[in-house]
Structure 1
């Protein structure tokens, strides 16, 4: 289908009640979560309670996801649509792009996973392992197939020291013969002094009653979220007016900007 703008927030064609659920998560202790699930508005003001000032560590684990090889075939065509989910200690999860129809995907994506001041990591960098999970994308949030996981040790790395580039084997208890691997580069780095000291975390949960823009009577919607020059995009959901995304994005914010900026959310048909 042609790419078409489906609206920003609750505005929609012909008065339809299009809504997208968003959850903003306040970081600190993992149990301290404040959430909103509401229709997004054009120029949505970011509530100050969803921003945490002075809690972001100057140290981050930088992970570069290069590629994969020998991944298991999960689809009937003998291929898979793989993507990775990465997390470290109490940092938010990050997700690579989906690589369609490949057992040897090329990602070449870089992620920074922050360590929080309240984290036990401040008692010693490297007490946790990087958690890597590989999934095969299928239409429908509950239909994704597990392809394997790895726990990658990082305790041997020093801050602002060497990079560690290796292939890591993915294990799957349900398939002990699996030989899938992912190629990663890991490094502890220190952010510069002018780094943002707050994070705004936005989870795009789902949509409902979206307008049909294709001749089939459906749409292939995806959401673009923009905040102060930073832009993130969800995956598109094929043939759906009630899509499920469940994707988390983090925007870096300076404490002096809290309450002074707006969050823009737009929905498009691919």
Structure 2
């Protein structure tokens, strides 16, 4: 049994309106070790071609992550059931040096499950000509299977120096540069879920019991409860908080599983909850 979802207003909590970002790609001997100023990188994620099929129907639900170092700086929308997706999404990223690559990673969205990796590439910004729009084609690869053909991603990019502006001023101005980039980092509320207990769950093991745990998913956010061994009436008493980014709310997908060592876990059941922002 799941406790009701509680929404906490985020109006009195601090927002992260912008982030300092380090981007780069391959190398360029002409770029000094310490760049004199800031850069602005405007990216248009255009489309993918011949992407890898990860679903049983021979298709995928791809989306793209852009990362610098270990930080995610932008995430695209999901294009359902398409190996040749068209995004045409724009992002504005702030750069304070050109020493780290911009990584592009593509995933297949799996509702209630772990998303499947579809390939990655990186862009060397130091190879770009400043102030000039550049069309970029990136070949996706899997480091574990380098010979696999995973398709391509097409981008348009412009790298612009901002040498005459201080970092503080540039960061303030960056709040207005891209609505999509800003929305990807600002949350509008918190969905708080308390997982209390399960009752009369289905027995999935030969001993007439299960080792149940619960997965929660809201958009790209995921949580997993602890595993309760050998019981059909587990007591969890755990709480999970999700950030609510969409203005109209979202859908929480809740699935119960039986943990099986050495093989695929057994699916017990699913519950889907619609969350409306501002509802009691």
The two structures have a TM-score, normalised by structure 2, of 0.53
Distance 1:84 1:53, change over 3 A: closer
Task: Name the structure 2 match of 1:78.
Answer: 58
Kept in 2, the 8 Å contact 1:60–1:189? The answer is yes
Task: Name the structure 1 match of 2:12.
Answer: 45
Task: Name the structure 2 match of 1:66.
Answer: 46
Distance 1:55 1:165, change over 3 A: closer
Kept in 2, the 8 Å contact 1:84–1:135? The answer is yes
What is the CA-CA distance between 1:115 and the residue it aligns to? Answer: 2.3
What is the CA-CA distance between 1:187 and the residue it aligns to? Answer: 1.2
What is the CA-CA distance between 1:130 and the residue it aligns to? Answer: 1.2
Distance 1:234 1:131, change over 3 A: farther
Q: Does 1:154 align with 2:125?
A: yes
Q: Which has the greater radius of gyration? A: 2
- Secondary structure at 2:132 match in 1: coil
Among 139, 148, 151, which residue is 1:169 paired with?
139
Which whole-Å deviations, capped at 9, do the CAs of 1:59-90 have from their partners, x for residues lacking one? 32111100001101000000000000002357
Distance 1:196 1:179, change over 3 A: closer
Q: Does 1:113 align with 2:125?
A: no
Which whole-Å deviations, capped at 9, do the CAs of 1:219-240 have from their partners, x for residues lacking one? x977864xxxxx7678745552
Aligned residues: 186
Output aligned runs, 1:97-108, within 5 Å.
Answer: 97-108=77-88
Once residues 237 and 54 of structure 1 are traced to their aligned partners in structure 2, the CA distance between those partners, rounded to angstroms, is 28
Distance 1:154 1:54, change over 3 A: closer
Kept in 1, the 8 Å contact 2:252–2:274? The answer is no
What is the CA-CA distance between 1:241 and the residue it aligns to? Answer: 3.4
**Unaligned ranges ≥5, structure 1:** 1-15, 20-38, 211-219, 226-230, 244-264
Task: Name the structure 1 match of 2:107.
Answer: 135
The two structures have a TM-score, normalised by structure 1, of 0.55
Among 115, 130, 145, which residue is 2:116 paired with?
145
Output aligned runs, 1:179-258, within 5 Å.
Answer: 179-189=150-160, 197=172, 201-202=185-186, 207-208=192-193, 225=245, 236-237=251-252, 239-241=271-273
- Secondary structure at 2:127 match in 1: coil
Kept in 2, the 8 Å contact 1:221–1:240? The answer is no
**Unaligned ranges ≥5, structure 2:** 22-36, 176-181, 196-216, 220-242, 254-270
Which whole-Å deviations, capped at 9, do the CAs of 1:139-194 have from their partners, x for residues lacking one? 12x510000000111102244x1122121100013442223100011111357978
Task: Name the structure 2 match of 1:18.
Answer: 5
- Secondary structure at 2:8 match in 1: coil
- Secondary structure at 1:155 match in 2: helix
After superposition, the CA RMSD in angstroms is: 4.1
Once residues 183 and 70 of structure 1 are traced to their aligned partners in structure 2, the CA distance between those partners, rounded to angstroms, is 12
Kept in 1, the 8 Å contact 2:191–2:244? The answer is no
Kept in 1, the 8 Å contact 2:66–2:73? The answer is yes
